Structures are given as C-alpha cells and as structure tokens.
Chain A
C-alpha cells in the first residue's frame, strides 16, 4: 500500500531512524517542523523526500537544499495526503 510518512522529529531523535527503516520502495517521506534540520545534519543518508518550505525558511535552511529533496508548501502537503492510501505520522 502506497504510504506517506510524515516526520517532525529532529534527525538525532530515535524515531527519525525508525522512520527511515520503515520506508518501503515508492513510499513518500515528508520532513516537517524539527525534521527539516535533516537537510544540514552531517552524514545522514537521507533518501529522496519532500521538505515543508515554511519550516525550512523559519530555520534559515533554504540555502541548504539537497539533491533529491523537493520543497513543498502547505497545499502541496495536502495534495500528498490525497494521493497516498496510508499515512504514518512519526
């Protein structure tokens, strides 16, 4: 089942690695709130994912975009929830 994973925990939080472990092929991952600092967290194997742009901007990380990370706004997040059959909030 196509799953959308939404995480708001910082990259050094145990749930962040649990979330990455749970990602299946074709699942989507969205970084929100504290999780957007994963964009600058050293040596983190971050898979292709989405990052919520207002949270990225608030933390002054917009210059830190990584290849494979797509910025989305709130309507973009809503659209993702509509196109996935299952949502996991980490």
Chain B
C-alpha cells in the first residue's frame, strides 16, 4: 500500500508538520512505501539555510535530510506553491522534485494523510 503524507503548514508555527514527518518515517521504518508531499505553505520546509536554533528548535531542514536514511525516497513539492512562496526549484533538496497537483497525482496513492 502506497501512502502519501501531506505537509501543508509552515515550519515552527505548530507541530502538525513534525507529526506528519514522524508518521512518514515510521511507515518507512516498516518498509511501507511512503511519499512526502509539501503543498501550500508547507513548501517552506524545503527552504535551505534555516537557522531554527535562534528559536531553540531543531531545524526541520535537518529532520528532512534524514528522510532518505529512513527510506523515504521521494519528496514532492507543489509547483504552484513554490511560485507563491518564491522558492526556486534549484534551491530544493536533492531528493525533492516539483510537480503539478492534479487528480491523477493523488490517484497514484492508496492512502492520503493530511494532519
């Protein structure tokens, strides 16, 4: 069963994104195919150079860098949201790619989870 975990909230504002990430890592740890989608404001998770130590938090950029270690091989960013938040695709992490969010995109997955 292929699962899509959606992160659509800004980093550091609340804990929904980190909880979604934990869910993705847990699925991957049990060898369940999982894909992370960053849509809407969630694309800001992918911005390079975050300095969250000033907020006494761990950078979500560092959390995400562990995704491939946990077996989450695919990070997908909503192309329209990247434009909305002025995040050029060449600044995305290596494991990330951009896509248009269409019904066909969501139909690839057996489960879609958005906290």
Residues of chain B having any CB pair with chain A under 8 Å:
10-13, 40-41, 44, 47-52, 54-55, 57, 59, 61, 83-87
A56 to B: closest C-beta gap in Å: 9
Separation of A59 and B48 alpha carbons in the complex (Å)? 9
A26 to B: closest C-beta gap in Å: 29
Contact status of A55 and B10, CB under 8 A, knowing A37-B85, A41-B85, A64-B86? no
Q: Are B86 and A42 in contact (CB under 8 A)?
A: yes
A78 within 8 A of B: no
A24 within 8 A of B: no
Q: 10 closest pairs, A vs B, by CB?
A: A54-B54, A60-B49, A34-B13, A57-B51, A60-B47, A40-B86, A58-B52, A60-B50, A34-B10, A58-B55
